[in-house]
DNA sequence: TAGATTGTTAATCGATTAACAATC
DNA sequence: TAGATTGTTAATCGATTAACAATC
């Protein structure tokens, strides 16, 4: 069955929602809908793509659902992540505690700035970019976050892929080329801001400023 | 005419693509397609939502297109942005140079940590969160970026809205409630990483680690 | 004129919503 | 049993792709 790609981030939302429901043992598509801003039909549809987790008449057992959603999302295990680029944004990601609570752990960090190399941040000794291939291969890391300047991004991503990285979260403002079979997600903050200004421009509201 | 919301970030991509084409005076939907990874039909469709910018047989004049796309995206002017939360992520955004090149300028920054208040970063004196309403109102700012911890996010967003903010980029890992007419975009890095682990989990590739 | 390329319409594809029989 | 709620099918909606007449 074809699963809409848009259903995956919603599964993450449902998972977070049930984490906030520790006191009860059962929930419903309606409750999950209210908690996440999705429709109840959407919740049931999304869950049904992956199995029959509920009981008609009573709803979804929270412990069952929690465990199933973790399996679906692949977070029923720890994942080690490589970070490339320890500038302002990279440093922020290194200290971001939200990753750890979801089972992600930044295990190594690289930069090409010799002033940063060998400095320790959050218990991670920053490595020279030259050590990227060796380290990623030897640690068997599958996921990388790229937080380097625009001009360096494609080169870094090529090197990550040749080191065996299979999934990349790219924060540099380019659309890198990657071969088939590599999962790439781009987060471009300026593009997001432009979605906002498009809206403000269209808006009927009399804008100030 | 109804414009698909997914076409807006593509317009941003086309705009960036033509910025890299300074040497030539004309481009085509095929060239923009190659540069952005979209299809040529998609490029023409997206542009046609907003007007007739090209000439059959010859293509799109770059200067004309550049100016039209800026107008569409609302970046034919400067925008002042308020930043709430000057932790690691907020500091990174304050120093991010990519915003300025697209016409965005972080004009004020707030934090509730008295150790940070009155410190100057990137030429911005960090203000106490208590000054949020007064400052945003008096400066007539329409856009805010929220980079506070999960627990503080909804409260901050409520206050931003009551100060007149119309568009919010939220980086805290919650889905805030906002009234109709307020544009909200959520960027949740853990959810993005979970899209990657979903893919790795599904992947036929024998994964290492 | 011949070749190129747009803008637009129709066809396809994919995702969401609504409805409801089956189940507890 | 009556009320609640799932899982699934069908209907709707929206976005993308293909095709091509019109234009330069």
pTM of the model: 0.94
Q: Is A142 on the interface with B (CB under 8 A)?
A: yes
Interchain CB distance below 8 Å, B195 and A209: no
Closest nucleotide to B30: CA versus each C1': C5
A39 CB neighbours strand C below 7 A:
yes
Please say whether the beta carbons of B17 and B35 come within 8 A. Answer: yes
CA distance A43 to A189: 29
Instruction: State how far the alpha carbon of B195 is from the alpha carbons of A74, A93, A189, in Å.
Output: 9, 17, 18
Cα separation, A16 vs B186, in Å, equals 15
Are the Cβ atoms of B190 and A99 closer than 8 angstroms? yes
Burial of B29 (0-12, 13-18, 19+ CB in 10 A): buried
What pLDDT sits at residue B209? 35
The mean pLDDT of B190-199, rounded to a whole number, is 96
Q: Chain-centre distance of CA A1, in angstroms?
A: 24
Mean pLDDT of chain B: 94
What does the pLDDT average to over B185-194?
Answer: 96
Contact B169 A189 (CB under 8 A): yes
| A23 CB-near residues (< 8 Å, 6+ apart) | none
Regions of chain A where pLDDT drops below 70: 203-209
Sort B102 into a burial class: Cβ within 10 Å, 0-12 / 13-18 / 19+. buried
Contacts of A91 in chain B (CB under 8 A): 88, 92
Is B166's pLDDT higher than 90? Answer: yes
- Which residue's C-alpha is at the least distance from the C1' of C17? A41
Phi, psi of A97 (to 5 degrees): -80, -20
Helix axes B7-19, B29-36, angle to 10 degrees: 100
- Closest alpha carbon to B100 in B116, B119, B123: B123
| Average confidence (pLDDT) over B2-25 | 94
For each of the domains in chain A, give its residue range(s) and CATH number, in order of start.
Answer: 7-73 (1.10.10.10), 79-192 (3.40.50.720)
What is the crossing angle of helices A40-48 and A7-19, to 10°? 110
Report the percent of chain B where pLDDT is more than 70: 97
Q: pLDDT tens, A92-119?
A: 999 988 888 888 999 999 999 999 999 9
C-alpha distance from A56 to closest chain B C-alpha (Å): 27
Smallest CA–CA distance, residue A150 to chain B, in Å, is 9
Alpha carbon distance A73, A16 (integer Å): 12
Question: Whole-angstrom Cα distance, residue B145 to residue B185?
Answer: 10
Over the stretch A142-157, which tens digit does the pLDDT of each residue have? Answer: 999 999 999 999 999 9
Output the pLDDT for position A85: 98
* Partners of residue A148 in chain B, C-beta under 8 Å: none
pLDDT in tens, B92-149: 999 988 888 888 999 999 999 999 999 999 999 999 999 999 999 999 999 999 999 9
Q: How confident is the model at residue B203 (pLDDT cuts 50, 70, 90)?
A: low
For residues B94 and B118, give the distance between their C-alpha atoms in angstroms, rounded to a whole number.
Answer: 15
Per-residue pLDDT at B205: 44
Per-residue pLDDT band at B204 (split at 50, 70, 90):
very low
How many A-B residue pairs are in contact by the CB < 8 A criterion? 205
A171 vs A168: CA distance, rounded Å: 10
Return d(Cα A11, Cα A73) in angstroms, integer: 8
Q: What are phi and psi of B70, to 5 degrees?
A: -60, -40
């Amino acid at each position: 069955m074809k699963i809409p790609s848009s259903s995956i981030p919603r599964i993450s939302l449902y998972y977070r929602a049930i984490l906030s429901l520790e006191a009860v043992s059962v929930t419903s598509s309606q409750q999950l809908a209210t908690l996440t801003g999705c429709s109840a039909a959407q919740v049931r549809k999304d869950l049904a793509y992956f199995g029959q987790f509920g009981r008609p008449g009573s709803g979804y057992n929270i412990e069952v659902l929690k465990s199933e959603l973790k399996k679906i999302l692949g977070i029923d295990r720890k994942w080690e992540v490589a970070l490339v680029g320890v500038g302002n944004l990279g440093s922020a990601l290194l200290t971001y505690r939200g990753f750890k609570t979801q089972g992600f752990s930044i295990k190594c960090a690289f930069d090409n700035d010799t002033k940063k190399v060998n400095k320790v941040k959050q218990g991670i000794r920053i490595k020279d970019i030259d050590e990227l291939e060796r380290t990623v291969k030897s640690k068997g890391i599958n996921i990388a976050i790229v937080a380097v300047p625009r001009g360096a991004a494609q080169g870094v991503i090529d090197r990550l892929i040749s080191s065996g990285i299979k999934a990349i979260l790219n924060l540099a403002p380019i659309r890198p080329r990657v071969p088939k079979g590599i999962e790439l997600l781009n987060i471009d903050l300026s593009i997001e801001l432009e979605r906002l200004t498009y809206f403000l421009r269209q808006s009927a509201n009399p804008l100030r400023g």
